[in-house]
Structure formats: structure tokens, C-alpha cells
Amino acid sequence: MPQQNARSVQRRRRIKRVLIGLFATTVVLVDTGAAAAQAAVGSEQLAITTPPAGSAQWAADHSLGRDLPDPATADARDVAAFFATLTAAQTARLVTDYPLVVGNLDGAPLQLRYRANRLAIAAERDRARARAADRRLDADTRARAEARANDSDHLLAPERQILAFDPRGRGLVSEVYGDLTTAQRVAVLVPGSDADLGHFDQAVDPLRSPAGMGRALYAEEQRQAVGTRTAVIAWTGYVTPAGLGPDAVTDRLAQAAAPRLTRLLAGLAVTSDPTAPPALFCHSYGTVVCGTAAPAIHDSAPTDLVVFGSPGMGVADAADLGTGVRVWATRNPTDWIGNVPYLEVGGLGHGADPTSAAFGAIRLSSAGADGHTGYLADGTASLRNFADVALGDYADVTRAARS
């Protein structure tokens, strides 16, 4: 019997490997670009679910005569209330001593987080530069350290507002465009595979990066509604799949990411005051994250949830996402994601196509968009529509043609 059980486990593992291979092979056959190359090197990633470095020391710090908010469990409202009681000197010490904790603490004042993250980023840059100069390390390690130092240094430009930064693993970064404290309308971009510190901001083909997408949406909002105060957050607050390997066809990383996304929204509820709940714009694997988080989203008004280039959201239809969201979906005809099987078998795949009529989402036009990353390109219907949704100008949204 033990041998039969062992053979059964091995058989299930073989089947899972075959199914993963089929999903990835499907993509390779329909996409001859970068994604196909990445599929060959994709690997399982270690999800980040614990608070950042310095959290243990923060929890043990009783110098203020009371407990500091637990970075793992504290409610954003309690965090905001805690900081409201501090003097300027107390606040400055916490930022200096625990920059990674303060910089990632949802509910902490926004300007405080920006300050803390500048300190944390500078420390990571300096650490990486020291490793890059260490001749005891091999050439590949030094080259990776040099790249990490450069990526960190770019985030320190004076105009950048880094809402969250965590150097663990491939690096997590979130950036704000606009004034989040006074914004009337707020949008959050949730990217998909390969989003990390090294790919957060790309000079070549910027719309492949979270920062490029965030800037494009913010610029279009400003163009359409000059008098409206807006802010956009490019949120790379979770470990994304690398390439199109095993993680891209399961919801493992999305399950770890969803609580982090809901904490972000809880923090925004007490540190910003828009006229409507922040709208979520979810791309590729990011739509799996948003689908996983959606049932936990509850507000006085529905949260707009826009999905584009989606492999599925882990549900059979929009109703399964709960009543807290209004779901919009689009996919252009040249996006290779449309050739990936829309199904879920044994935990692999992400379910129904959100752009299908049966799914029940409001289908947006993406006329003019090209490929998997072209939805926020200038002049596309998708970019205009995304800005309309973000601004609440629903009457101006153009719908997809019936198919």
C-alpha cells in the first residue's frame, strides 16, 4: 500500500508537469517574441508574505512606553491613529531607525512613507555598490549587484514618490504619480509577470513596465480632465511570476498577493480622500491577483476593476467576484494571451475568459492597441477608456463590438 501511494503521488506530479508544459508550450507556439523566450527560463518564485526587515526590532522597541503597531497585523486605521499621536522628533527617529517598516506600513502618513523609502532605497543602493566593488565575488554576482545599485539609484530622483520598497528577492516597488493626499480620483495599476525592481521602469518599450503604464494612465487623465486632481499608483507590491513558467499557470502567487492588495486599499482609505473608491487596473497575471482579492473588497460604492490581457480571474463569471466590484474587461485581437486555454484543471489555469459575453463583465474597446502590452499606448481606445473609468466618466466609455 505505501508503494501504491508513492506511485500515485509521483503520477499526479507527472501529470501536473505535463499540464504546465502544455500551457507554456501553447504560449510559445503563438508568441515568437520575448514572452516565448522567458517561458523557457521561468521558475517558481518564493512569495513574500512576511513584514520587511527590521520588523522584529520594531516589535521589541518599547522606547515610547507602549507597543508599536504590528507590521503583520495592525489595522490601517490603528496605524494612522498611532502616528497622529507622535511628536516630530519621535516620528523622525522611527523613520531613521526603521525605514523599511515605516515605508511599507499601510496607514502611515504618505509623506512619511516617501521619506522612509528614500532612506531604504539609498541603503540598498549603497549595499549593492559595495558588493559590485567586492573583487572576492565572481563577475556575475558583481554584475547583478551593479544592476541592483543602478535600479535603486533611479528611484532616488527628486520627483519620485515611492510608496513602498522592499529589497527582498527580486525587489518590490510601488510609486505614486500625482498628489495622492489631495486626489479626487485614484487609480491602482496591478501588473503581471516579470514586474520587479529590475523591470519597474524601462527606458526601452516603457509600457512593458509598471512605471511606464502608470505614467501613461496619469498623463491621459490629465489630458482628459485638466481640472480634476488625480493620482495613479503603480503597485508592484507582490512577487510576480518569472516568465511563463509554473507560477504563471497557478494562483499560488496571487493567493499570497491578494491580502497585500487589500491592505493597500485599506491604507488608502485612511491616508487619501478621493470622491470614489480607488479604481483597479489589472494586467495579465495581475488580473488573477485582482480576482483573488475582489471578494474581500467592500465599500459604500462599487470599486471599478478593469482587467486587460487577462488569462482568467480564477472564477467562472463576474458574479463570483462579489458585489464590491464593477468589472470591465478588454483584450485586443493581437494579444497572444487570447490563445492560452481559458480553463482550470487540477489547479492549473485561471478559468473563464473575462472578455467572453458569458462572463458578465462590461466589455471595453481596445481599438488601436497592439499585442500584450500595448493597451496604454497613445491614441488607443483602451487608454482613453481606462482614463474615463478612472475619472468616473462612464458615459464616455466606448464598448467593444459584439462578437
d(CA 170, CA 296): 28
d(CA 95, CA 85): 15
d(CA 88, CA 171): 30
pLDDT category, 33, cuts 50, 70, 90? very low
- Least confidently predicted of 3-17, 100-114, 345-359: 3-17
Using the predicted structure, report yes or no on whether residue 259 has a pLDDT greater than 90: yes
pLDDT category, 4, cuts 50, 70, 90? low
Q: Is CATH 3.40.50 correct for 1-48+169-403?
A: yes
Does the pTM of the predicted model rise above 0.85? Answer: yes
Q: Which tens digit of pLDDT belongs to each residue from 132-159?
A: 999 999 999 999 999 999 999 999 999 9
Q: Which tens digit of pLDDT belongs to each residue from 279-296?
A: 999 999 999 999 999 999
**Torsion sign, CA atoms 85, 89, 90, 94:** positive
d(CA 47, CA 237): 11
Q: Residues 200-207: what's their mean pLDDT? A: 95
d(CA 248, CA 237): 17
pLDDT at site 44:
87
> How far from chain centre, in Å, is Cα 100?
18
pLDDT category, 5, cuts 50, 70, 90? low
The torsion of the CA quartet 14, 18, 20, 24, rounded to 10 degrees, works out to 150
Quick one: which of 125, 124, 198, 115 has its CA closest to 160? 115
Sequence ranges of the domains in the chain: 1-48+169-403, 52-159
> How far from chain centre, in Å, is Cα 381?
23
Q: Which tens digit of pLDDT belongs to each residue from 35-54?
A: 444 444 457 899 999 999 99
